[in-house]
Structure 1
Amino acid sequence: MIRAFCAAVLVAACSMSAPVSSPATASGGRCSPATAPPARSAPPTSVSTLRQAYFCVLDHYYGGPAMDPAALLKSAFAAYTQDLMRRDADRSDLRLPELTGDRDSDWAAFAEVLGAGDVSALRAAITAMVAGLHDDHARAVRPALQPEGGPAGTGIVGLSAQQGEQLDPAAKPPLFITSVLPGSPAAKAGIRAGDIIVKAGGVPAFIGNTVNQSIVAAFAADPVKLTLKRPTTGRTRAVSLKEAPLTRRPAAVTAKPLPGGALHVRLPGFFEGAADQVIAQLKGKPKAVVLDLRGNGGGSPREVRRLLGAFAHGMVTSYFCPLKGECVPNRSDDGVALLGSRLIVLTDRGCASACEDFSAAVKDNGLGTLVGTRTAGAVSGPAEGYLLDDGSLLLLPKVRHLGPARETLDTIGVPVDHYAPMTALDLATGRDPAVARALALV
């Protein structure tokens, strides 16, 4: 299951795990399956690219055959004209043509109105068309080439309200930093986990009790200008961060013993081999496993099923459902030896996609207890990549995801059994309410 989160808001460059083919394979007026690394150059976005995206959604998105083509074009046209207006480039003759719902004739009328098209507005139209599917795993992506010397950024790689590429609309004040890369510009500036962001780029983090989504753009600036408050002292200071090369350690499972015969295991993502790394840490068969999935952005559904197989056999872990026909059950990997340990899972709003798949399977099958906060609500079926002629990529799920009880998790998330949120002061002082609550349950 692809969690398409890319920390571009916080880090200037990030890699994309989905393969992409060379532009030459995207021909004949249709998108093509992504099969190879991206080319270093591609033609500019054109009306032909928008046409590819339109038919690609209708042909390959699981809900495409049942969609109203006119709705796709309306979303695209609204974004197209808004982009022109923002740049004072609106056209007096630009009006949405009459659309009938016939995909071919509607496109012909639409293309005639656009004429040669505007590159920036066309890109906005493609993004809006895919965003209009309201599917977290459906994305329009322009892969960025990794700069010389590797990825660069400020080193702030976690926010309390972070939820994919936006900020969690359910977040409550304050907004605080949850993770800083060692040796990064942020670390060298003395920024620590728990520091509260009062403003970013001069923009307040919250308007009343509502998180301000517009501060996302402030993290894309260079330098990034922040007003921070240290929760332990109340001191406020201004910081300006210039991007610099970053060193990221490969994702890995870590573990440490807890009182009462429990083991705290942190799993940062369902990357290849993640399940076996966790199982290796549990060979001593501890009395209880506190599996920490906070900030786990997802990964492979195969790893989810394999890890669940260490706690129960013969269970349905989730369903993948086509537009029509029967849903296909996913099942635990029963080739994994059972551990027999009690399971307590820690979740938060950063637990997304495959992480939610795992959490729902634990909850619905009665495998353990969930502690922390509700998960992100950002889960869908596995997405496949399709290349457009400008070198960009559409990620489109072929199926939709349901939990083991056939419940929808996307936009909703998995609720916890025991609410134990992390605060800025907790992070700053080294307290962990979720772990404390878990220990009380052991």
Structure 2
Amino acid sequence: MTKPLAAAALAALLTVPLAAAAPAAAAAPPACARMTGPPPASPPPTSVDTLGQAFFCVFDHYYGGPGLRTQDLLKDAFAAYTRNLQKRGADVAGLRLPALTGDREADWAAAARMLGTGDPVALRAAIGGMVEGLRDNHARHHVPEPPREGGPVGTGIVGASGISGPGVDPAARPPFFITDVVEDSPAGKAGVRPGDIVQAIDGVPVWVGETLNPLLVEQVQQPSFTITLKRPTTGRVRTVKLTEGPLTPPARTLRVKDVSGVRYVRLPGFYEGAADEVIAALRGGPKKVVLDLRGNGGGSPREVVRLLGAFAHGKVTSHFCGYDGSCTPNRTDDSVPLLGARLVVLTDRRCASACEDFSAAVQGNGIASTVGTRTAGAVSGPASPWLLGDGSIVALPSVLHLGPGKEIVDTVGVPADHHAPMTALDLATGRDPALRKALSLLNG
């Protein structure tokens, strides 16, 4: 599979000295900076100050910051820090989480004194552990990688059932099958096809009982691995060795066609300009529309309200809320001329973030029916990127997303009005139950 941008590898292991004594009072770290351009090309190593930047950045810019305890943030950071040292056989005698009082400045000073000069690799892990401890699907710690010479590489498997965002979908159920393969990629040339059922990777079964093995996400990021596949149309089982090679990632562009008097548009993401592209593709066409948002990982809330404005005016689409409970309603962009078209929206478990914002809005306002499956439930709130001193980035939501009726969509998802999942056999044979149901709703 292509390697997710957020899954950047840790820096090379370093020789770890014992923690050196720090000054009696640790100076406050510099503040994290709002991203205004690309990160520095050659940033310094991660330091104790970098961890402190992230610590205060969460309190200052995360919507839930006012309710966080210093004890919890630093516990998660120290847990990740010490685990990293232990995995490398580099644990430090006497290193422990000091007694904490709940005072941010005093607790950080105590933590910094305990860390001393710190270990750069373990400190980077500590930042990741602290952010992961927020348990927020839009909070991320990202370490940018320089562009690869010669362009991107991968195996060409770019989609699979049971995968949600960068990890395994906790609601995944058997079978686990391929959904998307890049043409002329190593996987494509090896005969891997959408619908192929994955039985094992490097000989390890992908299912442990009824649970999808979370290790498979790491396995398929290796430069080379074997994958055991079953073709659903024939039952044939074979094992293929895949090695990453040069790859042309699929373009993020619309797919438009007319089917049975209906204009079908597949939108892969709410990227900048996406709304106007869809509106242009629909203007002058049939007044029956299927908008396919399956696999749409999200994007800009501005694109959501603009596209909604082509189907309805005067509607509240969602709410962005602060920790104190105050909420600001988001509304359809009524500057967009109405298309006057009937709409059905296709969704699946890979419809996330802004995609769920759109789906909840059309469903909650009676703008359109949804067909397919429940969405991902990954819409905590739009995140802003903040730059740390080591060139890494912390993305933090400054507001909480609620649906048009102030309902929680995050972690729950948007249920489909008409359940029509895509099976492995459907993909292998070119059938599309959700599209078929959508056409029947529009033409019935």
Percent of residue pairs identical? 61
Report the counterpart of residue 100 of structure 1 in structure 2. Answer: 101
Report the counterpart of residue 71 of structure 1 in structure 2. Answer: 72
1:117 paired to 2:118? yes
How far does residue 70 in structure 1 lie from its aligned partner after superposition? 1.0
> What stretches of structure 1 move > 3 A for 4+ residues in a row?
12-16
Report the counterpart of residue 42 of structure 1 in structure 2. Answer: 43
Give the structure-2-normalised TM-score. 0.92
Report the counterpart of residue 141 of structure 1 in structure 2. Answer: 142
Give matches, 1:2-401, under 5 Å.
10-12=1-3, 14=5, 29-259=30-260, 261-324=261-324, 326-401=326-401
Report the counterpart of residue 15 of structure 2 in structure 1. Answer: none
Q: Specify the code of the residue in structure 2 equivalent to 1:403.
A: G
Q: Secondary structure at the match of 1:213?
A: coil
Q: Specify the code of the residue in structure 1 equivalent to 2:335.
A: G
Closer/same/farther in 2, CA of residues 202 and 84 from structure 1, 3 Å limit: farther
How far does residue 88 in structure 1 lie from its aligned partner after superposition? 2.2
How far does residue 12 in structure 1 lie from its aligned partner after superposition? 3.4
How far does residue 224 in structure 1 lie from its aligned partner after superposition? 2.6
Q: Which runs of 5+ in 2 are unaligned?
A: 8-27
1:141-192 per-position Cα deviation (integer Å, ceiling 9, x unaligned) = 0011110122111111101111111010101011111101111111111111
Q: Distance in 1 between matches of 2:86 and 2:163?
A: 30
How far does residue 280 in structure 1 lie from its aligned partner after superposition? 1.6
- Contact 1:285 1:340 (C-alpha < 8 Å) held by counterparts: no
Q: Specify the code of the residue in structure 1 equivalent to 2:179.
A: T
Relative contact order higher in (CA < 8 Å, ≥ 6 apart) = 1
- Contact 1:310 1:338 (C-alpha < 8 Å) held by counterparts: yes
Q: Secondary structure at the match of 2:31?
A: coil
Q: Distance in 2 between matches of 1:272 and 1:110?
A: 42
How far does residue 233 in structure 1 lie from its aligned partner after superposition? 1.4
Q: Which runs of 5+ in 1 are unaligned?
A: 1-9, 17-26
Tell me whether 184-193 or 84-93 shows the greater mean CA deviation. Answer: 84-93
1:60-113 per-position Cα deviation (integer Å, ceiling 9, x unaligned) = 111112211111001111111222222222234122211111111111221222
Give the structure-1-normalised TM-score. 0.92
Report the counterpart of residue 407 of structure 1 in structure 2. Answer: 407
- Contact 2:29 2:49 (C-alpha < 8 Å) held by counterparts: no
Q: Secondary structure at the match of 2:215?
A: helix
How far does residue 359 in structure 1 lie from its aligned partner after superposition? 0.1
Tell me whether 274-283 or 411-420 shows the greater mean CA deviation. Answer: 274-283
- Contact 1:157 1:181 (C-alpha < 8 Å) held by counterparts: yes
Q: Secondary structure at the match of 2:396?
A: strand
Q: Distance in 1 between matches of 2:242 and 2:377?
A: 32
Q: Specify the code of the residue in structure 2 equivalent to 1:54.
A: F
Q: CA RMSD for the aligned pairs?
A: 1.6
Q: Distance in 1 between matches of 2:6 and 2:137?
A: 19
Q: Distance in 1 between matches of 2:337 and 2:365?
A: 18
Tell me whether 268-277 or 115-124 shows the greater mean CA deviation. Answer: 115-124
Q: Distance in 2 between matches of 1:332 and 1:127?
A: 36
Q: Distance in 1 between matches of 2:2 and 2:175?
A: 21
- Contact 1:13 1:144 (C-alpha < 8 Å) held by counterparts: no
Tell me whether 229-238 or 370-379 shows the greater mean CA deviation. Answer: 229-238
Report the counterpart of residue 11 of structure 2 in structure 1. Answer: none
Q: Distance in 2 between matches of 1:52 and 1:201?
A: 40
Q: Distance in 1 between matches of 2:155 and 2:334?
A: 43
Tell me whether 117-126 or 303-312 shows the greater mean CA deviation. Answer: 117-126
Closer/same/farther in 2, CA of residues 71 and 15 from structure 1, 3 Å limit: closer
How far does residue 301 in structure 1 lie from its aligned partner after superposition? 0.9
